[in-house]
Amino acid sequence: MNVNVVEQKFCERFGDKGMLFASPGRINLIGEHTDYNGGFVFPGAIDKGMVAMIKPNGLDVVRAYAVDLDDYVEFGLREEDAPAASWARYIFGVCREIQKRGGQVKGFDTTFSGDVPLGAGMSSSAALESTFANALNDIYELGIDRFELARIGQSTEHNYCGVKCGIMDQFASVFGKAGHLMRLDCRSMEFEYFPFNPEEHGYKLVLLDSVVKHELVGSPYNDRRASCERVAAKLGQEFLRGATMAQLDAIKGEISEEDYKRARYVIGEEQRVLDVCAALERGDYETVGRRMYETHWGMSKDYEVSCEELDFLATLAEECGVTGSRIMGGGFGGCTINLVRAELYEGFLATAKARFAERYGHEPKVYSVVISDGARRIN
């Protein structure tokens, strides 16, 4: 995260320094599309994220400059002042959601930049929301607890950005802890830290970015959520969480084939998260890897959120002896997350780059992953 550039641009544009805040993107080792089903997720914050310099300006206007986009926007803080620029709607939405909760937000100046790759499934949007929610909470001494900061980010997505996301991305960005993954129960909001140090067991974690990007806004994501809600309602439950395959099979004739497949994936994924947590406590990374592959093909065949390029990368990983590989994030493009034995790492990356380029005309981007801390003020 380029703190110096953010500071320099702030001084150029606004004439003085403000306070610096940062929030990370995230990976999710396993537990995809389970959060809005009341299930378990298993994310960790990463060493890539957003950094913003912010200073109150004594006006009723927010003046925001997106360094990476070289774009400047001004907007007011009333509902009718919503900016047109999609990136600015995240900041506006955070301000509005804080106001709805009774928090006093006044005008401020800000510049921000990020090194979370956009569209790669590492949740740059949650990093942006968490940065501003945490910063405004700090600057205006609002006393909002960290869970509510995560919910403010989630509500921003729902109400201002058109994505009915679960809570995982914002939770991971706010609560991240270096060297740990977090198992979050999205129904009770209870969570537990699990030490995660694959290097100590002879493994590396690496993301391969297909550089394919499909928008999550609108139907593909929301349609799948609606499928799950229909099946849960048929089972007499609020969420799919806790449903069994036996219960699902009992109503198979009363639901569409598509809804059945969506629910089958989610029920299996809930168990896979618990299996992976138990395996990590034993230091059993081979089981972790097997469950990752199961998740990938469940997302590809049953949930249908993969694409040809991601399936190619997962298949290639298996051929190269990679311990585990799967789509990471909502799908429809982005990255695979790969758990690789250290001795296979360089060979796998070389093969993946060459074979992918041969097939699709460009190499995948490679991102090594370090598990890091969550939203914070930078002194």
Q: Which residues are catalytic?
A: 169
Q: How far apart are CA 110 and CA 132, in angstroms?
A: 10
Q: Which amino acid is at 115?
A: D
DSSP assigned state of 326: E
User: What are residue 258's phi and psi, to 5 degrees?
Assistant: -65, -45
DSSP assigned state of 371: B
Pick from 368, 307, 365, 316: nearest CA to 342: 368
Q: Which two tokens stand for residue 216?
A: 């999550």
Alpha helices in the chain (DSSP H): 3-14, 86-100, 124-139, 146-156, 168-175, 219-234, 245-250, 257-281, 285-297, 308-319, 345-360
Pick from 154, 65, 48: nearest CA to 112: 65
* DSSP labels, 178-215: TTEEEEEETTT--EEEEE--GGGGTEEEEEEE------
Residue with tokens 């993301």: 207
CA separation, residue 226 to residues 55, 155, 253 (Å) = 41, 18, 18
Pick from 136, 133, 149, 173: nearest CA to 25: 173
CB atoms within 10 A of CB 127: 33
Gyration radius of the chain's alpha carbons: 21
